[in-house]
């Protein structure tokens, strides 16, 4: 779809929302307009608008086949396959949408799906954009990406606007990791429709993201800006290309600052400017100042909060993290554990610890205390290790005591903060318990871990007694030594 047609469709969609809000009973759009509004609502993932369009269509155009087809797909998308089947059963047999949706509902066999799609392609003609989109989606659902590639010429011949097929295939190729093929499709799109700025922007984005070809990307983005000089996406891509090509930092920052000045809510421009500040001279303070101004109005922006954690290592992030917890629906521990693990796996231990401590502080509890203690220790938060171990070990029942590894980290943390009173006696008691216990670990891994902890306890005892001339770092696998 050309840029001006897309803009018209979006304008229709917005006007429809305004009229529905003000006088839903008297709204009138013709059938083609309702179809365009529905498709724009689908692009925006606006289920409310989609439903309102169908209700309006049922009142104004009860016999519309195209609106009925979209109604069937809406039912299918929300998982109500029986309702979708009831709708398509009333559609004419010539309906491509009916045949595609029937394939998705009733066919599970891979080869049978290919047979059905071959029949649809070989017997079809004059496909609409929606029919092309659903054809690609149906084949994609069955994992028939290669079938779509093999039948490219046939499918493109079915429509007078083959750009729709190419556009959908670009997205599918990207999801499939077939970036070289996607680039070829985008180049074909720009040749078929050279004055569509979106296609040039997509080409530039893929050039720089997957091929690190900033020169090619800059060439594509310059075409996009020649068509649409005010395109924020193209301007942002140009700043990225300039940075990658080693152009003046001042020029890159100035272009990003102009974007942010015109739209302070542009999270991508804000985050990229912060990134440039870090890259230029590791100016964490300047980057955090930029991000702080943005996050005060967007407290639930996880991506920005995560980037702030990364560059600050969690320092001074307590207010931001508490605001994020309170402003988001993210209240399940598993979500916070996964977030913390992602930072931990990148070596950002203090950021990981900050995430878990935020959840504990705001929720009042955490189930995986052993993991919490490990992360605190890796972050160098030894006082937190001691406090956490002592608090949770006292409150847990006998059969849910913290692990031997947590005990060892607790003992190490006490040594590191100089809290040695009673530590030797505690270590000797723990060593005796471990070595004399009749408990047989369930797994080889657990057995080896128990042996390892016992060895470390013995070494720690000897270091404290002065019987070993080693030091604490020698028995700490997390120490840089």
pLDDT digits (tens, 9 = 90+) for 329-376: 999 999 999 999 999 999 999 999 999 999 999 999 999 999 999 999
Is the pLDDT assigned to residue 481 strictly greater than 50? no
Phi, psi (degrees; rounded to nearest 5) at 77? -65, -35
pLDDT per position as a tens digit, 89-128 = 999 998 999 999 999 999 989 999 999 999 999 987 889 9
Q: How far apart are CA 210 and CA 246, in angstroms?
A: 18
Q: What is the pLDDT of residue 31?
A: 93
d(CA 362, CA 4): 49
How confident is the model at residue 448, as a pLDDT? 65
Segment 263-268 shows an average pLDDT of 96
457 pLDDT tier (thresholds 50, 70, 90) = confident
Give the per-residue pLDDT at 400: 60
Tens digit of pLDDT for each residue in 6-49?
778 888 999 999 988 887 778 899 999 999 999 999 888 898 99
CA distance linking residue 226 with residue 211, whole number of Å: 23
Query: What confidence category does residue 393 fall into, taking pLDDT thresholds of 50, 70 and 90?
Result: confident
Report the predicted TM-score, pTM, of the whole model to 2 decimal places.
0.79
The answer to whether 253 and 273 have CB atoms below 8 angstroms apart is yes
Work out the pLDDT band at 470, boundaries 50, 70, 90: low
Q: Is the pLDDT of residue 480 over 70?
A: no
Answer whether residue 467 shows pLDDT above 70.
Answer: no
pLDDT, residue 402, reads 85
**Tens digits of per-residue pLDDT, 423-444?**
888 888 878 877 776 656 666 6
> Which tokens sit at 393?
């070990």
User: What are the Cα distances from residue 103, in Å, to 109, 114, 129, 365?
Assistant: 10, 10, 19, 49
Is the separation of the CB atoms in 241 and 224 below 8 Å?
Answer: no
Residue 198 pLDDT: 95
> What's the rounded Cα separation, in Å, for the pair 196 and 4?
9
Q: Tell me the mean pLDDT in the region 41-68.
A: 92
Report angle CA 12, 47, 52 to the nearest 5 degrees: 60
């Amino acid at each position: 779809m050309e840029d001006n047609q897309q803009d018209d469709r979006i304008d229709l969609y917005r006007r429809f929302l305004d009229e529905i809000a003000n006088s839903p009973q008297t709204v009138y759009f013709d059938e083609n307009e309702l179809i365009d509004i529905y498709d724009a609502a689908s692009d925006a993932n606006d289920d409310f608008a989609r439903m309102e369009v169908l209700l309006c269509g049922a009142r104004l155009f009860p016999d519309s086949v195209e609106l009925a087809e979209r109604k069937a797909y809406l039912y299918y998308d929300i998982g109500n396959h029986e309702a979708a089947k009831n709708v398509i059963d009333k559609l004419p047999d010539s309906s491509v949408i009916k045949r595609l949706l029937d394939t998705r509902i009733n066919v599970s066999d891979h080869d049978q799906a290919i047979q059905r799609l071959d029949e649809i392609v070989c017997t079809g003609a004059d496909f609409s954009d929606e029919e092309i989109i659903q054809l690609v989606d149906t084949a994609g659902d069955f994992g028939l990406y290669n079938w779509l590639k093999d039948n490219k010429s046939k499918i493109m011949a079915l429509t007078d606007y083959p750009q729709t097929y190419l556009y959908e295939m670009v997205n599918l190729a990207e999801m499939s990791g077939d970036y070289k093929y996607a680039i070829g499709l985008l180049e074909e799109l720009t040749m078929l429709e050279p004055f569509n700025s979106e296609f040039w922007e997509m080409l530039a984005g893929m050039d720089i993201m997957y091929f690190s070809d900033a020169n090619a990307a800059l060439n594509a983005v310059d075409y996009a800006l020649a068509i649409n000089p005010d395109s924020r996406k193209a301007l942002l891509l140009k700043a990225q290309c300039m940075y990658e090509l080693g152009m003046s930092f001042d020029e890159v920052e100035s272009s990003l600052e102009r974007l942010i000045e015109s739209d302070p809510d542009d999270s991508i421009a804000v985050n990229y400017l912060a990134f440039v500040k870090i890259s230029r001279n590791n100016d964490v303070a300047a980057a955090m100042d930029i991000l702080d101004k943005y996050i005060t109005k967007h407290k639930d922006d996880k991506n920005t909060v995560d980037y702030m954690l990364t560059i600050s290592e969690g320092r001074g992030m307590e207010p931001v993290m508490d605001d994020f917890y309170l402003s988001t629906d993210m209240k399940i521990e598993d979500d916070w554990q996964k977030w913390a693990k992602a930072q931990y796996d990148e070596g950002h231990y203090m950021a990981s610890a900050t995430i878990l401590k935020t959840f504990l502080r705001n929720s009042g509890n955490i189930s995986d205390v052993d993991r919490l203690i490990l992360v605190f220790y890796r972050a160098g938060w030894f006082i937190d290790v001691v406090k956490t171990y002592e608090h949770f070990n006292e409150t847990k029942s006998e059969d849910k005591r913290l692990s031997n590894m947590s005990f060892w980290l607790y003992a190490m943390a006490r040594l590191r903060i100089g809290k040695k009173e009673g530590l030797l006696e505690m270590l000797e008691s723990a060593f005796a318990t471990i070595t004399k216990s009749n408990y047989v670990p369930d797994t080889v891994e657990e057995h080896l871990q128990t042996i390892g902890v016992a060895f470390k306890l013995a070494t720690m005892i000897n270091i404290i007694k002065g019987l070993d001339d080693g030091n604490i770092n020698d028995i700490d696998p997390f120490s840089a030594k």
